[in-house]
Structure 1
Amino acid sequence: ARFPFNISQQGIRVFSPSFAIRRREPVVEVEDRVMPTGIPGLDELLQGGIPTGRTVIVSGVSGTGKTTAALQFLVTGALRGERGMIFSFEESADRLRRIANSFGWDLNALEEQGLIRVVFVPQTDISLDRDLEQMSNQLEEFRPQRLIVDSFSVFLYRVEDAATQREKTYLLATLVQRLGAVGLLISDVPADQPGRVSRFGVEETVVDGTIVLSSEMVNLQRRRYLEIIKMRAANHVTGRHRMEISARGLQVFYAATPQADELAEPVPLPFGALAPLLGTNLYHGGAWLLRGDPGAGKTTLAGQFIAAGLAAGGSALLLSNDVPVFRARRALLRVGIDVDAALAAGRLRILDGFSDEIGSGDPEAFLYRLAAAVAVMPRPLRVVIDSLTPQEVTFDAKAFAWLIHRKNRRYRLPDVTLFDVMRRGSDHVSADA
């Protein structure tokens, strides 16, 4: 038989036959369950998480959030009582702890509790077969449920032979599958080749999944994206999705479209101000559009629409784009709403469209954060946006039409009504009334 060996100052060392033999043993059956990543939005894309026993490449150019995603995945598991291990070939243990602390994650405390183990090997000290044996031994001893190799492309950087790259990737994936764990292999993509999904072009053919992080400049702002390229034998949402790196880590802007009961009866929608024109036989489930010139009374009518909903025992969400929240409150007071009481009862919420809470300059962020606000409001619900003019003048026609279509399609529900205010002459909007 042939076994790998290494020549050092201490002489020749042959790596253990048991390590080579274990590679050829049959792979154990993997538990039929998924492991949540802890990254909001990504677990929804994965329909719960990554299936156990899987190895996934997380790739992207420098600065796209790969190490942050890996640490978030590791810390999420530790907080659930799951052991995690990271083999780092770039960042020292102290550096990783500082990165984690910047997001509020106490990596050192989790290490002391025996939930996380950090193994740092400087790039200059990498010895492929020796380090693979060390990984195998430590995995066998620590038995982690979550494994990170950061970065896998640095680990293999001296290997030029594609067959060897593939073999070492397969070996590591086999070790992960044996444990019934989930492994994330971080892959650095060259900056001049952002379209690649891995460093060497062979790793993604061996592993079970590939997640690509990317970024681009749009209107002088850097926008980050995540895409699940593949997840073998697992349902997932395809396509590229906006994400951001916040003070709490990565967050993917994805929210599944609410599914309404096809047999559900729409809830009545009282609105006395327009009863002489529209009658009283109105119901939730539609999208209204109010257009007019400045000073024509659009904000007043929108306030009356909110007041009618609160008076009927419903709730309202007001997104104030044109004026600050204090002025929006005064406008609601003028139409007879007890604003403080409604806010205290949780039946009214006023959002500033220009705050970081909404992000009005990014259509995907806007829609995601609006969805998050709608999700926590009591029903029946009236959603008023006064107005959509900032979005119309900021986004190009295609992006604005996409935003309106997605918003209206998502919330045409039996207990929700949308009420958009816009200036006269807006042509990119569809509505029911």
Structure 2
Amino acid sequence: MERISTYVPNLDDILNGGLPQHSMILIAGVPGSGKTVLASQIAYSNATPDRKALILTTVSEPMSRIIQFTQEFTFFSLEKVNQAVIYEDLGPVVLEGNGEHALAHVIERVMEVQPSLLVIDSFKAIHDMADSPAALRRTLYRLAASLATLPCTALLVGEYEADEFLSEPEASIVDGIIELINQPIGLRDYRSLRVRKLRGSGYRSGEHSFRISREGIVIFPRFVTPSTPVRYTVSQERVPTGIPGLDELLHGGLLRGTTTLIAGDPGVGKTVTALHFLLNGARVNEPGAYISFQEDPNQLAQIARNFGFDIESLQAQGTVNMFYTSPVELDIDEHWLRIVDAVERVKARRVVIDSIGDLEAGARRDPDRYFNYVYSLVQWFKNQGVTAMLTAEIGQMFGTDLVLTGRGISHIADNLIALRYVPIGREVRRAITVLSTRGSAHSNEVREYRISEKWGPQIGDPISGAFSLFERQS
């Protein structure tokens, strides 16, 4: 099947290579969801004087306003207007007659202009002016038949509420349906795209988030594990953390390609532990990427400096990539592409995500999305041979019970290390224990965990009364 590129970042991947050539596609969504932007972006990106795009506007929005707002995007080209991109206002035709009369006029203009791409915006206005669903179906069929004789791909843009279009005649006649969604969640609007139909072709299912900027629409495909598991050899190589005493508890270090969850009380040393794991690796030329949500790069650089690390020098050498993103209005699928870039930029063998709980806030639109996302993330690390460390905060500070929460995330990680505060006499000390290491033996001792700027983190003597463990799934 021949296809045409949409030139919308990542949309061709979702469509398995682009729009089927000479097809009829319905772009549906509520008002303000980005339908006109998407259609215009595809039209301007494909149109040339030899392969024209014909954009027919109706009574939903005046043609002059569409052109005015389209000029704000970088894909707009004034030189293409009336040379490669032809605009025509169908409003008077629609108002004077009915939907069938308007579509008959569309067929006439298509035969005259012979465009390679046709956009009708909004087709829903023509639909609403039709005398009956049966009459609309007959005329729409004639339009499809006329387009079939031409090398023309058609985009029908329409304002439809959720699932409204599924019962309309156009849904059965068009070759594909792309739905744009604009859903308010909390204080932000969450934009997503979903392919509902693509005749004769596979596509990546599910909702895919997107943003609209001056460059137009950028889509962030939903991050999932491959449908066929990637085959790899499970490594028995040990990756030392470089933290005195911890590698002994781990019987030599973490297994290469595994993911470790560091769970603990606020301020107990999770970030310090993860940072030492990463920077100790960089000191022996094992590149690493630090993905942070809470500590910005300046804070992390100062923390590292307190322990004798020079992050700026390690970054200049290309062995460390410190990547920070604010957790406010975080979209996890958009962020995933940035994680990949951060890892690939230094060819990281070690990765830290601090903390994994911030990803849950970015997935609150779907209760299952957080679990699926973290599972896919861990599997991707395995496939790449990356040894990862994730931090997570637990509650009940100073309590004797250790409650692991987070929708079963502790079961996804290969290794689990717990840190706690424990009051002993008049002092508050830190305790550490290795709860599990998948496929590997480990010490079951609970030890004191000492952190000082002079010596860094160190494992101390055995300590009692720190943990009474049970797990709670939510």
Q: CA offset at residue 324 of structure 1?
A: 2.3
Q: CA offset at residue 129 of structure 1?
A: 6.2
1:104 partnered with 2:86: no
Q: CA offset at residue 169 of structure 1?
A: 1.7
Aligned partner (choices 321, 343, 347) of residue 379 of structure 1: 347
Q: Is the 8 A contact 2:98 2:131 kept in 1?
A: no
Q: CA offset at residue 195 of structure 1?
A: 2.8
Q: CA offset at residue 147 of structure 1?
A: 1.7
1:67 partnered with 2:49: no
Q: Is the 8 A contact 2:208 2:221 kept in 1?
A: yes
| Aligned sequence identity (%) | 23
Task: Decide whether aligned partners of structure 1 residues 231 and 302 sit closer, same or farther in structure 2, where only a CA change above 3 A counts.
Answer: same
Pair member with larger Rg: 2
Tell which deviates more after alignment, 216-225 or 371-380.
Answer: 371-380
Aligned partner (choices 279, 287, 292) of residue 315 of structure 1: 287
User: Which residue in 2 is equivalent to 1:177?
Assistant: 148
User: Which residue in 2 is equivalent to 1:212?
Assistant: 179
Secondary structure, counterpart of 2:383 in structure 1: coil
Q: Is the 8 A contact 2:327 2:358 kept in 1?
A: no
Distance of 2:201 and 2:63 partners within structure 1: 33
1:35 partnered with 2:1: no
User: Which residue in 2 is equivalent to 1:196?
Assistant: 164
Q: Is the 8 A contact 2:291 2:339 kept in 1?
A: no
Aligned partner (choices 174, 184, 187) of residue 158 of structure 2: 187
Secondary structure, counterpart of 1:156 in structure 2: helix
Secondary structure, counterpart of 2:300 in structure 1: helix
Greater relative contact order structure (CA < 8 Å, 6+ sep): 1
> Gaps (5+ residues) in structure 1?
1-31
User: Which residue in 2 is equivalent to 1:160?
Assistant: 131
Distance of 1:235 and 1:52 partners within structure 2: 14
Q: Is the 8 A contact 2:353 2:390 kept in 1?
A: yes
Amino acid at match of 1:232: R
User: Which residue in 2 is equivalent to 1:244?
Assistant: 211
Amino acid at match of 2:215: R
* Matching of residues 2-41 of structure 1 within 5 Å: 32-41=1-10
Distance of 2:68 and 2:114 partners within structure 1: 25
Task: Decide whether aligned partners of structure 1 residues 183 and 102 sit closer, same or farther in structure 2, where only a CA change above 3 A counts.
Answer: same
Aligned partner (choices 386, 392, 395) of residue 422 of structure 1: 392
Tell which deviates more after alignment, 247-256 or 180-189.
Answer: 247-256
Distance of 2:387 and 2:50 partners within structure 1: 43
Q: Is the 8 A contact 1:43 1:49 kept in 2?
A: yes
Q: Number of paired residues?
A: 393
Amino acid at match of 1:432: D
Task: Decide whether aligned partners of structure 1 residues 171 and 223 sit closer, same or farther in structure 2, where only a CA change above 3 A counts.
Answer: same
User: Which residue in 2 is equivalent to 1:91?
Assistant: 61
Tell which deviates more after alignment, 260-269 or 80-89.
Answer: 260-269
User: Which residue in 2 is equivalent to 1:221?
Assistant: 188
Q: CA offset at residue 51 of structure 1?
A: 1.0
Task: Decide whether aligned partners of structure 1 residues 128 and 81 sit closer, same or farther in structure 2, where only a CA change above 3 A counts.
Answer: same
Higher strand share: 2
Q: Is the 8 A contact 1:44 1:255 kept in 2?
A: no
Task: Decide whether aligned partners of structure 1 residues 335 and 44 sit closer, same or farther in structure 2, where only a CA change above 3 A counts.
Answer: farther
Amino acid at match of 2:164: R
Q: CA offset at residue 38 of structure 1?
A: 2.3
Distance of 1:176 and 1:335 partners within structure 2: 69
1:78 partnered with 2:52: no
> Structure 2 length normalisation: TM-score?
0.73
Aligned partner (choices 93, 110, 117) of residue 86 of structure 2: 117
Q: Is the 8 A contact 2:293 2:327 kept in 1?
A: no
Q: CA offset at residue 80 of structure 1?
A: 12
Distance of 1:44 and 1:175 partners within structure 2: 29
User: Which residue in 2 is equivalent to 1:262?
Assistant: 231
